[in-house]
Amino acid sequence: MKQRWYGKLLGFFAGAALMRANPFLGAIVGLLIGHAFDTDWFKLRGDDPYAALGLDSEASDADIDKAYRRLISQYHPDRYANDPPDIRQRAEAKARDINRAYDRIQKLRKGRK
């Protein structure tokens, strides 16, 4: 996975420019904020379709298909037909998330080829 660096650089200069009274302190604060953006501290977990399938972005197509089939068979709403409605609704929501993540991964992978 590539390490990003431009957030730190931009944060360093922006912090120094914005805190004119103490540019050194501003540069340090900007550097820390830039580091947070570079390492995705502010990224929501729901943004990563690979995490929804329990994989990382370096997973092969076969691993993605295998994880998808395993999870969708585990959370398919038909398996919960005789369970209480709240459990069935949670399974439906999880199955929707799994399908959405799989579709998004497929679109991302088509764009790369």
pLDDT digits (tens, 9 = 90+) for 29-70: 999 998 888 877 776 655 788 888 999 888 999 999 999 999
> Alpha-carbon distance 39 to 47, whole Å?
14
Average pLDDT over residues 62-85: 93
The confidence score (pLDDT) of residue 99 equals 95
Enumerate the H helices of the chain as residue ranges: 6-18, 23-38, 49-52, 61-75, 85-112
Residue 11 CA: distances (Å) to CA of 15, 41, 58 = 6, 15, 29
The confidence score (pLDDT) of residue 70 equals 96
How many other C-beta atoms are found inside a 10 Å radius of the C-beta of residue 86? 8
**pTM, 2 dp:** 0.59
The confidence score (pLDDT) of residue 39 equals 79
